[in-house]
Structures are given as structure tokens and as C-alpha cells.
Amino acid sequence: MKDFRVNDVAARANVSVGTVSNVLNRPEMVAIATRERVEAVIAAMNYVPNERARQLRAGTSSMIGFVMLDAGNPFFMDVARGAENAASALGLTVLLGNSDDDASREDSYLEAFELQRVRGVLVSPTRDIGARVRSLRERRIPSILIGRAHSPAAASSVSVDDVAGGLLAAEHLIGLGRTRLSFVAGPLHIRQVTDRLAGAQSAVARSSAATLELFGATSLSIQAGRVIGRQIAGRRPRDRPDAIFAANDLLAIGILEAITLSEVPIRVPDDIAIVGYDDIEYARSAVVPITSIRQPSAEIGATAIRLLLEEASDLSLEPRDVTFQPCLIERASTVQGSA
């Protein structure tokens, strides 16, 4: 009923604590007979070493923290899964924290990870977290940002070229002959949102006919999308945009739901075409399958782990930025008759 210590095991096996420790950590350097005896005692007592003490002594942890902007968004879970797979192959464990775009929650997770002296931290930041990142760095805890950094040189980052993604989306819509484009933004402190908007703006600027209207959603969620959708459906038909580019798929799903189920249904894509972002699985299963910008989520997670470990073993490394390219997945919300 009590928690045994290495002492107890040593006493019961008639060896010293050092030997027990060796059996656990360097079994090859202990005689076979001794080893088997100690192992038997360990099993009999159901002894489990105390990781906190071990890490205190070793000065190193096998945990990696990941603070997510929105764990409810499948995109981030896919990134997390990629990170987990890469980490567990190396015997490391990824612990997830969900900030829900709340700066204080984000900071409390980062603080908890800092107090724990984890091996490193991945963050998809809600806003500029340069200060905390520097503090972690002083503790020799590297951090990798998922998504482009606000303050450049603070930490390495793994991101997708969101400006290119925005460009892709808007060009696709313009290429389909749409002219009254709109961008549905989430909170503007999120870098991804402003970058995607910038991409869309530059595509529109290149076109002579197209215009871009901006809608501001309160968050990157289905619910917020519904609100915008109802707003659009409430307008007179000639005042509505003929194409919507939503800052992410959750928004797109909410918008789509609201406008197709409104009193006088709007046809998608005939009346309004919709493009989302992230290519989450639900986008494919929506009322009308949603055209979306795909990001290599699992690869992002795996790359982040790789960078993290490189920096953990060489703290003098300069921050690096790895950027992936997004691609467009066409579906029925923009192109009639496609999958």
C-alpha cells in the first residue's frame, strides 16, 4: 500500500541502491544472477521509480508540452497527432494544453511547463508571447511556434505560407468568375487570419473586376460562422457577396449551414461559392462539401518536434523558420459536380 523506494528494493534484494539503479538504467553492467534477483524483487514489490526524482537528478525531462490555440479544431489535433507520433518514436511524451484563444490560459500552461522544466514546448500562440518564450529560453527550454511568429527572432517556427493560401483561395474564386468576394475573419490578433486576408487582398488587387468585403467573426468557430451566415442571408440578394472565403473551415461550416438553411435558402455554389481553410475532415462532410486550403498538418507537428530536439541539444542554434506550402482542394462548394 505504500510507495516503495529504491532503498526498499535494495534492502529486500540484499544489494545496494546503486545496484538497483544500475539494473534499471544500465542492466548490462550488472551480473546476470544479481540482475535477475533484483528484477524479481522489483516485480514482486511492484516498484515504479519516481520520475520526478529521476529527472531532478538527471536534469532532463522526457515530456514535451504543446499549448494549442483550439483543441476543438481538428486541424490542431492533427498537428498534435503528428507531433505525438514523432515524439513517441523517440520515447518522449507530448502533453497537451488547450488555451482556447485565451491569453491567460495560454500563459498558465506555459508557466506550468516552465515550472516542470519540460524538454521543450510547442505553441500555437494566441498573440505575441515573446516574453514568455525568452523566459523559457533562460531555463534552457526551447520553444517552437506553430504558425508564424509575431516577434521574429524569439523562437523557431513551423508554419504554412498563409499569404499564399489566401492568394490561392481568392484566385480560385476569381477564376470562377466571381467578383463580389468577401473574407470572413476571425480575431485579428491571430496571425494566420491577417495573413490569409493579406493573400486574398493581393489577389483581388490584381483583378480589375473583383472587390473584397470584410466580415469580422468573433472567433474561429462554427457558432461564429452561423452568426455571419445569418447576417449575409439577411441581406437583399443583390447586396450579398457571390463568394465567401472563410478564415477557417469551422467558420465556413457555420456560414454554410446558416445560409443554406435560411428561410429563403441560398444555393451553394450557384448563388454563393465558399472556400474554407485547413481542410478538416468535417469540411468534406458538410451540407455541401467545402472547397478548402489544405495544410500538411501531421508533417507540421513532426517537423516541430524535430526542430525542438535539435535546439534542445544545441541551445546556441539560431531561430529558424520552416514554411510549408498549402494547396487547394476543390469540392462542391465552389465547383458544381465535384466530389
Segment contacting a second copy (CB under 8 A): 27-35, 107-115, 156-164, 203-211? 107-115
Selected from 212, 273, 286, 307, the binder of a second copy by CB under 8 A is 286
Phi/psi at 181 (5° precision): -75, 155
Contact 211, 204 (CB under 8 A): yes
CA–CA separation, 38 and 10 (whole Å): 8
User: How many residues bind DNA, per CB under 7 A?
Assistant: 31
With binding defined as CB under 8 A, does residue 48 bind a second copy? yes
Which residues have a Cβ under 8 Å from the Cβ of 134 and sit 6 or more positions away? Answer: 154
Contact 185, 152 (CB under 8 A): no
Selected from 1, 31, 153, 339, the binder of DNA by CB under 7 A is 31
Cβ count within 10 A of residue 334: 27
Residue 237 identity (one-letter amino acid): P
Site string for a second copy, 56-95 (x = CB under 8 A): x----xxx-------xx-x--xx-xx--x---x----xxx
With binding defined as CB under 7 A, does residue 26 bind DNA? yes
Which residues have a Cβ under 8 Å from the Cβ of 164 and sit 6 or more positions away? Answer: 199, 325, 326
Nearer to a second copy, 142 or 199 (CB): 142
With binding defined as CB under 8 A, does residue 287 bind a second copy? yes
Contact 275, 334 (CB under 8 A): yes
Q: Which of 152, 212, 213, 224 is nearest to 187 (CA)?
A: 224
With binding defined as CB under 7 A, does residue 33 bind DNA? yes
β-pairing, 327-329 vs 291-294, is: antiparallel
Selected from 151, 152, 281, 336, the binder of a second copy by CB under 8 A is 281
Selected from 36, 50, 218, 315, the binder of DNA by CB under 7 A is 50
Cβ count within 10 A of residue 202: 14
Applying CB under 8 A, the residues found at the interface with a second copy are 1, 3, 46, 48-53, 55-56, 61-63, 71-72, 74, 77-78, 80-81, 84, 88, 93-98, 100, 105, 108-109, 112, 114-117, 135, 138-140, 222-223, 253-254, 256-257, 261, 281-282, 284-289
Applying CB under 7 A, the residues found at the interface with DNA are 3-7, 14-22, 24-26, 29-31, 33-35, 49-50, 53-54, 56-59
